[in-house]
Amino acid sequence: MVFRPVLSVLSVLILGLSALSSAAYAQLSGHGGPVRGVAVAPDGQRAVTTSFDYSVILWSLDRGEANAILHGHEAAVNAVVVLPDGQRAATAGDDGKLIFWRFGDTQPARVVEAHAGRIVALTLSPDGKVIASAGWDGSAALWSTADGSLIQRFEGHQSNVNDAVFSPDGTMLATAAYDGIIRLWNLADGRLLREMTGHEFSVNALAYLPDGALLSGGSDETVRRWNTATGEETSRRIAHKGPVLDIAVAPDGKGFASGGIDGMVRLWKAGEEKPVHALAGRGGPVWALAYTPDGKRVLAAGNDSVVRLWDAATGQPLGDSGGEPVETAAVTAAAPQDKGAAIFRRCGPCHTVTADGGNRAGPTLHGIFGRKAGTVEGYPYSPALLDSDIVWTAETIGDLFTKGPDVVTPGSKMPLQKLVRQEDRDALIAYLRQVTTP
């Protein structure tokens, strides 16, 4: 991993979230963990992103500024669609919930218990009235954008469903599953029309071209094209080194973008076998892609918590989107020779340590020693921490990482992570004491 020494810790911490506006169309930095979903509003002015850090961020795209951080999910948030009115969005995550948001409000407008397992993808119907969700409970489902009610559920997948997309005429739903099979369903009567096989492993992403051809991306590194009328595979290309994670079709329908676990974004022309551009974001796996409505820019959601913007015509990064990996403040703060600091890199994406560092996915750890659990003002704790009598000390923090948050604070939304070695815990606690004590 390459570190960028010039990125001073202080400047990053002081800049904070709202002030991270730089050049127009720069990258979007604000999440505290991998970004899993990205969508752009119809007016092209706003974007919504979702992250492993449990949060949803509403961005002003032209200024690269976070306008609101929305908390409502109780787990990683994987998918987002902006509704056609441009005033609402729906998000879904590992908590199986489908949450509707109205821009300007900080509380969810509606929370729907949508799947019995994690939801990994959402898509909007061509008329904008229906949302399709893909779940790891082995089902896909359709929801009304008007009132969030369930319209239909498609079962009969033998495995996790990774994506669900509407045909351009709105009469069919295609689903992609972990078993490598693409299934085509008739929306009018819910009947399974066809199974399309060919992918060797999991199918991760689907997208229709306007002419009705279906594109699929899989863990077998390929993007394939299908004639859904006959079920035939009509073309295939090796798109990435490793699994293809997402596909987005350009608004004019003449090309598409693919993102992969190899950290690359590739831009393709619909009929050509070689990519037009290969964009190296250096942010690790690219989990999600979206075009702006004018087709001029591509947004790529990165594993390093950053959303990068690219010029779709030239393949050039916009703002500071290319170049070296951007490390979070906490990572940069870690002097490599200090073991505790090195271990704290696991915490840094979600926790700051200074008085003015603010909250990320987790509350600031400033003054953590002697602090009662769940008491940072303004941070949306889970009831588990709000109701806890724990006072954080070397011992109780140590417990958190031997027994795990699920035992020490049952119901906590801090993800499970254990430090099994005593020396690692000691080093972490010594480091925390040093950097969090006021």
Binding site for ligand HEC (CB under 6 A): 33, 53, 346-347, 349-351, 361-363, 368, 373-374, 376, 381-382, 384-385, 392, 397, 412-415
Sole residue written with tokens 């987002």: 80
- Minimum Å gap between C-beta 81 and ligand HEC is 24
Residue closer to ligand HEC by CB (options 40, 385) is 385
Report in angstroms how near the CB of residue 252 gets to ligand HEC at its nearest.
38
Distance CA 173, CA 199 (A): 19
Closest approach of Cβ 228 to ligand HEC, in Å?
39
Which residues touch 352 (CB under 8 Å, ≥6 apart)?
13, 329, 330, 358, 359, 360, 364, 365, 366
Q: Please say which residue, 39 or 347, places its beta carbon nearer to ligand HEC.
A: 347
CA 239 to chain centroid, in Å, comes to 21
CB of 203 to ligand HEC, least distance (A): 28
Closer CB to ligand HEC, 223 or 330, in the complex: 330
In the chain, how long is the greatest CA-to-CA distance? 68
Give residue 246's Cα distance to chain centre.
11
CB of residue 412 to ligand HEC, shortest distance in Å: 3
Q: How far is the CB of 114 from ligand HEC (least distance, A)?
A: 22
CB 301 within 8 A of CB 35: yes
Tokens for 26, please give them. Answer: 């720069």
Minimum CB distance to ligand HEC, residue 432 (Å): 6
Do 134 and 154 form a contact (C-beta atoms < 8 A)? no
CA dist 217 and 178 (Å) reads: 12
**Quick one: 255 or 285, whose CB is closer to ligand HEC?**
285
Which one, 260 or 374, has the nearer CB to ligand HEC? Answer: 374
Q: Please, what is the Cα angle at 40 between 36 and 41, to 5 degrees? A: 135
How would you classify residue 104: left for phi > 0, otherwise alpha for psi between -120 and 50, otherwise beta? left
Among residues 254 and 345, whose Cβ is nearest to ligand HEC? Answer: 345
Least separation in angstroms between residue 330's CB and ligand HEC is: 10
Residue 410 beta carbon to ligand HEC: minimum distance, rounded to whole angstroms:
10
Instruction: State which residue, 313 or 391, has the beta carbon closest to ligand HEC.
Output: 391
- Cα 397 vs. chain centroid, distance in angstroms? 29
CA distances from 289 to 124, 125, 312, 398 (A): 15, 18, 12, 39
Residue closer to ligand HEC by CB (options 196, 397) is: 397
Residue 225: what residue type? R
Which CB atom, from 127 or from 406, has the smaller least distance to ligand HEC?
406
Question: DSSP assignment, residue 325?
Answer: P
Q: 394-402 and 422-436 are packed helices; what angle lies between their axes, rounded to 10 degrees?
A: 130
